[in-house]
Chain A
Amino acid sequence: MEGRYPDRVLPYVLVAPSVIIVLLFLLIPSGEALWQSLSRINPFSGQATFLGIRNFVVLLASEEYRHSAGVSVVFTAATVVLSLSTALAMALLANQRLHGIGIYRVALIWPYALSPAVAGTIWALLFEPSTGVVTYLLRETVGVAPNWMMSGRLALLVVVVAAAWKLLGYNVVFFLAGLQAVPEELTEAAAVDGAPPWRRFWAVTFPLLSPVTFFLLITNSLYAFFEVFGLIDVLTQGGPARATDVLVYKLYRDGFVSINWGLASAQSVLLFVLVAALTIFQFRYAGRRVFYS
């Protein structure tokens, strides 16, 4: 390494842009959030009163926040399981040699290209309690048309399905790539040994897919936990009766609707700790089971 750069300044100049960006857009705002989380702030004057950890105490003691955390966990788990399993099934189908397979693949990947607002609007229109297509079909076929605006569980289900659908394209792409990297000799050898298709999948293909699955597990959890704001805002605004009020949505309500910056900053600090913990946990424990060929 020694002597590769002729002078001592150049390396610093080269890394400077990244350092500046990190400083400007990550470290300084994070520091500010930390400071604000310990204060009560007048949004107009910016005048802050130091409160110590009071915001955190208020949050953790509030039933609303704990409820929100619960909703987030249920939402994330359901979304990730639903999306990963459907995506895997679809990737398996799309991995076959079929006529017009290109069209199927494009169609599967499509939802990922939609913005959250568009995806949310589509699902909101489908399930609209009085004029939605799904509502209409259900009423005509089964005779009941549940109003998800009056049922918290149903609303959560709709949001989960929408989020899983939104993730589907992304997951299918990775699973497809993973499947195509599985050497055909291995599955053929298993077939020659008389393993039925199901067995071939579980014993050969799935373990070889585990790095991809693990990667998707992390990215999907992060998405479902932290990036569903747009979808929720368009579909339910956290309602009805807070049934879909995930942590990021509650943060938005407190910070940007109620303009309670101290409390909102405290939530963002907690979220930051949570995402770090989640990632470490997943790499420590789930990561061990991954089989990198």
Chain B
Amino acid sequence: MRWRCAAVMLVAVLALALVGPVRAQGPVKITLWHAMGGARYEAITKGIAEGFNRAYPNYTLEPLFTGSYAETLTKGIAAIRAGNPPHIVQVYEVGTQTMIDSGAIIPVTDMVKPGEINFAEYIDPILKYYTVRGKLYSMPFNSSTAILYYNKDVFRRAGLDPERPPQTFDELEQMGRQIIRSGAARGAVTFGWPAWIFEQMFAYHNKAYANNENGRAGRATKVLFDQPFGVYLASRWAAWAKEGLLIYGGREYAPNRAFLAGEVAMLMQSTSQVSTIQQGAKFAVGTAFLPRIPGQPRGKSVIGGASLWVLKGRGRSQAELDAIVAFFKYLNQAAQTAQWHKDTGYFPATQSAVKLLEAEGWFTKNPNFLTAFRQIQVGPDTGATRGVLLGNFVQIRDITDTMLERIFSGRMTPAEAVRVSAEEANKVLEEYNQTYK
């Protein structure tokens, strides 16, 4: 009996082994590693991947959630080393320089034949962010910027006009004081991704963050946030923290909690959170441009979020490359770009998607989705507003986050913290430029 059983199993195994290669003749499989958690997870797996697989039966896109942005980048690098990376990996904007220098990628311009995708149709600041020295390296996907979210109910309770959010730092301070005095909220403002908000303020006031034109004319060798503007900005924020206007709520998305709980009246956070915040808030949410520092030159808020990078691996077949291009074309369709925007709050990255949304009356019904879009379109296009590129930016962002924590917790004066952190960051750049010659 046992032998017969074993024989049957053996035959089954052999049969499977024979069938295996036949099955591989099916759709061409490409993998995508991404970091889209929360509401964005559904949007990428259900919306984008399933839609693509239906539209292109010859191809199969397999999305895989690989943790936070930092974790996804680390896993991607490990997979590159192991020789078996995914076809596409989503890397946040701070990984841009590292990916360019990695030697492990295929630039998008080298893959897509002229005329296949009309890149000129992309919103200018997004395209410019990922174009380095004339080459578009990665496929724009989820682009965001920072805006000001505010709690209209708190504004009303504090006796402020809920339709008139602060436009400058000075107004934010005055309104914040009134909010706290009236007891409408415990704190005035908090930041999501604090180091990124710090970077935003440089571009927003047309100040370079690093040398060599923000690292775009050549590799950056020095950060510039220890210049007077950086010290000034840090001092203003330090004063907010000391006065109790600013309540520090941690890094990335953690500060959303204080805002959603009505503890803090205003939140500077990525536009990618518009959907999440509107769904989570039990109050009327308003959005506005980031407040400006009076007397400083006008710049533009800068692009954040992530883009899609094609990895070489040990060589890709033509069929796989075709599948990747087909996927990019699919993403580029107005309907897909518009849907991704609606699901998440990330920018509708192309003109045709914007037109589609306007025709549907989407922005009239959802004004909070328009704020960021308008914000990145006003202001000059200069080296300082195109977004900084830094080697090992991941570590430098950790350094500036730490710098802000040193300031907010009162462990260092703003001037001291800025100086120490700039030194640390410059060391990282030096180390990086030696590693990637």
Contact = CB atoms under 8 A, between A and B. Distances in A.
B251 to A, nearest CB: 7
Contacts of B402: 239, 241-242
Interface string B412-434: 10000000000010001001001
Contact of B258 (A41, A129, A259): A129
Contacts of B247: 129-130, 147, 150
Given A130-B186, A258-B392, A259-B74, A241 B257 contact: no
A44 B81 contact: yes
A58 to B, nearest CB: 9
Contacts of B241: 150
A259 B251 CA distance: 20
Contact of A130 (B102, B249, B405, B408): B249
Given A46-B81, A253-B398, A257-B74, A147 B248 contact: yes
Contact of A241 (B77, B405, B424): B405
Contacts of B258: 129-131
A130 B264 contact: yes
Nearest to B77: A43
A128 B254 CA distance: 10
Interface in A77-127: none
Contacts of A259: 74, 77, 98, 392, 394
A151 interface: yes
Interface in B232-260: 241, 247-251, 257-258
B370 interface: no
B402 to A, nearest CB: 6
A44 B249 contact: no
B100 to A, nearest CB: 11
A239 B257 contact: no
A230 interface: no
Contacts of A257: 70, 74, 394-395, 398
B80 interface: yes
Contacts of B436: 42
A90 B247 CA distance: 38
Interface of B: 70, 74, 77, 80-81, 98, 102-104, 186, 241, 247-251, 257-258, 261, 263-264, 392, 394-395, 398, 401-402, 405-406, 408-409, 411-412, 424, 428, 431, 434-436
Given A44-B104, A131-B263, 17 more contacts: A40-B434, A40-B435, A42-B436, A45-B103, A64-B424, A130-B247, A149-B249, A150-B408, A151-B409, A237-B251, A239-B402, A239-B405, A253-B395, A257-B70, A258-B394, A258-B398, A259-B394
7 contacts: A42-B435, A129-B247, A130-B249, A150-B405, A239-B405, A259-B74, A260-B431
